Chains A and B, each alone.
Chain A
Amino acid sequence: MSDLVSESRLKASFKDSGIAALITLALSFMLIGMRTEISIGGLAVDYRWAAVAITVVVVFAGRMLLNMYVWRPETPRTVTFRTVLLGLSILAALVIFYLVDRFLGAVAGLSPARAIESNDWLWILLLLALAVVAAIVATALLGLAEKRAAPTGPGAAASIKAGLAPLGKWLPLALGLLAVAVPFILIEWLGSRGSRQYLDLAILVLTYIMLGWGLNIVVGLAGLLDLGYVAFYAVGAYSFALLSQYFGLGFWMCLPLAGILAACWGMILGYPVLRLRGDYLAIVTLAFGEIIRVILLNWYDFTGGPDGISGIPRPTLFGIEFDRGDDGFAALFGLQYSSIHRIIFLYYVILAMALVTNFVTMRLRRLPVGRAWEALREDEIACRSLGINTTNTKLSAFATGAMFGGFAGSFFATRQGFISPESFTFIESAVILAIVVLGGLGSQIGVVIAAVVMIGGFEFFRDLQEYRMLVFGLLMVIIMVWKPRGLISTRKPTIGLKRRTGISADMVQEGQG
């Protein structure tokens, strides 16, 4: 009996895997099999049939394994088992791919052969270690999730949660103190020369945290899916750059103006599009983001087009410049001149801006307007029945988010000293949105964690070259499988009669506007 079953399953799996292999063949025929190479006198096509063969075989084998052991098991497998298997197989594929590319490159015609270097083994070990860690973490967490799902009284999960509660309270404060201390720790540790790179990274991370917090107002609180957030970042950056170019205004003068202009743009763009909902809103905001970029790119006389704008003034400390001059920062404070001073100053500027963003957002959440945003995310029709002007409420969310985007944009401009439309592509919007979604919609601390992991991690693993994309894709898949509502998915009530306990994400709506 069971023989019969397994035999028919073998047949079905074989057929299914065959189809998958055929589809792969059809797809990889052009995508992998041929490659244009620059050769003398033009382009030449380079054929890589071995690579196609490897791809087809891998897909067939992988599909076969999935068919046999994962998708149609005789005994129902637990979530844990399936996820671990999934994670492991993705990582295995990654390792295989890496190995093939690195060592069998010549055989497969994928890339020129390279000698095995000692640090290749390091990377392989690292990947394997990552696989093991991912599997362990996934097992542990899914085990917890299963226990929590089973109604067996306060189990291990509950006690762990209770244990973590004080952490939630002190974590923001600890992170804040750490953020203030970062420049000193780095300089103490690495010296002013060695720490420069890390301080730059920290500034970048903080910029994304600020952008994440800004977008969180729109997406996390008001539930409006905005795929064109980078447009406001661009408006902020260009407002400052153009104001300084045409009117010679400085950073501190332009900062509020940039925010106000971005907020105005938010309203102008928001007014026509906010009657759309869900996917339509997402598409239109995406288009608006691109429109702004294309205008910046093509209005050559005004914005410099693809050449961008250079020579954007640096921020000053109450009028004191960070330069070598006699009235520069170093001279006035009796210090040896060092370019690190300005970096540290920039770090504190963005830290302060980010903290203000956070403070204002937290405050707004507890005001009627913030509650109306969240109510809008929960149920727009009910909002209207309670006398809330939903158009204005949406616009206020859009404008507030845009304003913080504009602030961040003008900081970006002053930090770089040069901007061009290239910095404001859709991928930026996607990264900011990914930070918000990974962190947990509406969660401030979640945005911090996600930004540190995504931006910081991304830069840290620069040595991994193109593989870091794979690693990050994998990380995102794991997080979305394990915590589909983001890392921090409990919502804290804005007001309490007697107590304020978190609300679990499965009750909170994501909004459809």
Chain B
Amino acid sequence: MTRWKENPVLTVEHLTMRFGGLVAVDDLSFDIGRGDITALIGPNGAGKTTVFNCVTGFYKPTEGRLTVRHSSGDSYLLERMPDFEISRDARVARTFQNIRLFGGMTVLENLMVAQHNPLMSASAMSFAGIFGLGRFRRAERRAVEHASYWLDKIDLVERADDPAADLPYGDQRRLEIARAMCTGPQVLCLDEPAAGLNPRESAELNALLMYIRKEHDTSVVLIEHDMSVVMEISDHVIVLDYGEKIADGTPDAVKSDPKVIAAYLGVADEEVELVEEEVGL
């Protein structure tokens, strides 16, 4: 039942994040299993985005320990690392709740920026690049191939040379995921990737996530409000409410947890059965 505890790629222990008097995340611990798709759910303001911001280094957690273990055996303590190192070395990539693409750059350029670090070392801090040395040219060609691979996966090859801001919303969401994947992450954190998608786009997204899990050494953590998406693709669900974990288990187990239902319906635990009767569950 607790498969994710056996070989976790990310371990969160006693994570607490305070903003002044507000405790956004309170003593939260969980494991993310390697190769799983894990869903982090909870009502609005539960602290889900805050957890992501702590994991990816955008916030420095007030307390707690965050450990990433690569399949190669290396491990990293995220709470000590600045945000760009978390992406570069610990290989945790993310997307944002409000899309953050480089709108004035083309789709392909967005994916090239994501491969900044390998390209940078190939260009020998730009010196080899300025003189157009072969090593850099080869590295760049490989980067373009890598980008094309992801463009193909998100079905945007035709639009590779259009500015990212020109894409429809659903395509922008998928491009942001592809861009994160171009960094070669071990953990991919997606903040509400299905928000604002129509059913067809939502199905495409599910397929993309399933593909990533199957073909790449990347574990996916996603924040999601759409229960049908959560139930369909996730292996493991963690439920937050007011910064605390109220449930942690397989989708089926979580679905029938009275605490979860109570949190989502906004009532106290004891009243759940009453409310369930009323709404005819």
Give residues in A with beta carbon < 8 Å to B: 360, 363-364, 367-369, 371-372, 374-375, 378-379, 381-390, 396, 491, 493-501, 503, 507-509
Q: Which residue of A lies closest to B131 (CB)?
A: A363
Select one of A368, A379, A498, A503 contacting B160, CB under 8 A: A498
Select one of A368, A382, A501 contacting B100, CB under 8 A: A382
Q: Which residue of A lies closest to B94 (CB)?
A: A385
Select one of B102, B108, B163 contacting A379, CB under 8 A: B102
Is B106 within 8 A of A493, CB to CB? yes
A165 to chain B, nearest CB (A): 16
Is A500 within 8 A of B116, CB to CB? no
User: What are 8 residue pairs bridging A and B, where the CB atoms are less than 8 Å apart in the complex?
Assistant: A371-B105, A378-B105, A382-B100, A495-B112, A496-B161, A499-B161, A507-B103, A507-B165
A367 to chain B, nearest CB (A): 4
- Residues in chain A near residue B113, CB distance under 8 A: 368, 371-372, 375, 383, 386, 388
Is B119 within 8 A of A368, CB to CB? yes
Is B117 within 8 A of A387, CB to CB? yes
Of the listed stretches B72-80, B122-130, B236-244, name the one at the interface; the rest are far from the partner chain.
Answer: B122-130
Is A386 within 8 A of B130, CB to CB? no
- Residues in chain B near residue A372, CB distance under 8 A: 113, 116, 120
Q: Which residue of B lies closest to A502 (CB)?
A: B163
| Chain B window 155-185, contacts with chain A (Cβ cutoff 8 Å), 1 for yes, 0 for no | 0010011010110000000000001100100
| Docked CA distance A506–B70 (Å) | 42
Is A497 within 8 A of B165, CB to CB? no
Within 8 A of A (CB), among B93-113: 93-94, 96, 100-106, 108-109, 112-113
| Docked CA distance A372–B119 (Å) | 11
Give residues in B with beta carbon < 8 Å to A: 56, 58, 83-85, 87-88, 93-94, 96, 100-106, 108-109, 112-117, 119-120, 123, 125-126, 129-130, 132, 136, 144, 148, 151, 157, 160-161, 163, 165-166, 179-180, 183
Q: How many A-B residue pairs have CB under 8 A?
A: 137
Select one of B87, B123, B130, B148 contacting A497, CB under 8 A: B148
Q: Which residue of B lies closest to A510 (CB)?
A: B104
Is B103 within 8 A of A371, CB to CB? no
| Dominant secondary structure of chain B at its interface with chain A | helix
Q: Which of B116, B132, B144, B165 has the most CB of A within 10 A?
A: B116
B118 to chain A, nearest CB (A): 9
Select one of B96, B109, B126, B160 contacting A382, CB under 8 A: B96
| Docked CA distance A390–B88 (Å) | 12
A217 to chain B, nearest CB (A): 12
Select one of B85, B96, B144, B161 contacting A501, CB under 8 A: B161
| Docked CA distance A360–B126 (Å) | 11
Is A363 within 8 A of B129, CB to CB? yes
| Docked CA distance A382–B93 (Å) | 10
Select one of A360, A385, A396, A496 contacting B87, CB under 8 A: A385
Known: A367-B130, A374-B102, A503-B163. A384 touches B120 (CB 8 A): no
Q: Which residue of A lies closest to B85 (CB)?
A: A387
| Docked CA distance A227–B104 (Å) | 24
Given contacts A374-B104, A383-B113, A499-B161, 6 further A-B contacts (CB under 8 A): A374-B109, A385-B56, A385-B96, A387-B85, A388-B113, A496-B106
Select one of B100, B105, B125, B130 contacting A374, CB under 8 A: B105
- Residues in chain B near residue A509, CB distance under 8 A: 103-104
Is B84 within 8 A of A384, CB to CB? yes
Q: Which residue of A lies closest to B125 (CB)?
A: A369
Is B84 within 8 A of A495, CB to CB? no
Q: Which residue of A lies closest to B89 (CB)?
A: A387
Q: Which residue of B lies closest to A378 (CB)?
A: B102
| Docked CA distance A374–B125 (Å) | 17
Q: Which residue of B lies closest to A500 (CB)?
A: B161
Known: A496-B106, A497-B160, A500-B161. A368 touches B129 (CB 8 A): yes
| Docked CA distance A509–B180 (Å) | 21
B83 to chain A, nearest CB (A): 5
- Residues in chain B near residue A387, CB distance under 8 A: 84-85, 87-88, 116-117, 183
Which 9 pairs, one residue from A and one from B, show the smallest C-beta to C-beta distance?
A508-B104, A387-B88, A387-B87, A378-B102, A368-B119, A497-B160, A367-B129, A382-B100, A507-B165
Select one of A386, A494, A503 contacting B183, CB under 8 A: A386
| Docked CA distance A31–B151 (Å) | 64
- Residues in chain B near residue A390, CB distance under 8 A: 84
Q: Which residue of A lies closest to B176 (CB)?
A: A382
Is B101 within 8 A of A379, CB to CB? yes
Is B109 within 8 A of A495, CB to CB? yes
- Residues in chain A near residue B166, CB distance under 8 A: 507
A360 to chain B, nearest CB (A): 6
Is A384 within 8 A of B87, CB to CB? yes
A16 to chain B, nearest CB (A): 41
A271 to chain B, nearest CB (A): 16
| Docked CA distance A396–B127 (Å) | 13
- Residues in chain B near residue A494, CB distance under 8 A: 109, 112
Is A507 within 8 A of B148, CB to CB? no
Is A496 within 8 A of B83, CB to CB? no
A219 to chain B, nearest CB (A): 15
| Docked CA distance A375–B83 (Å) | 16
B60 to chain A, nearest CB (A): 14
Is A371 within 8 A of B109, CB to CB? yes
A284 to chain B, nearest CB (A): 23
- Residues in chain A near residue B144, CB distance under 8 A: 495, 497
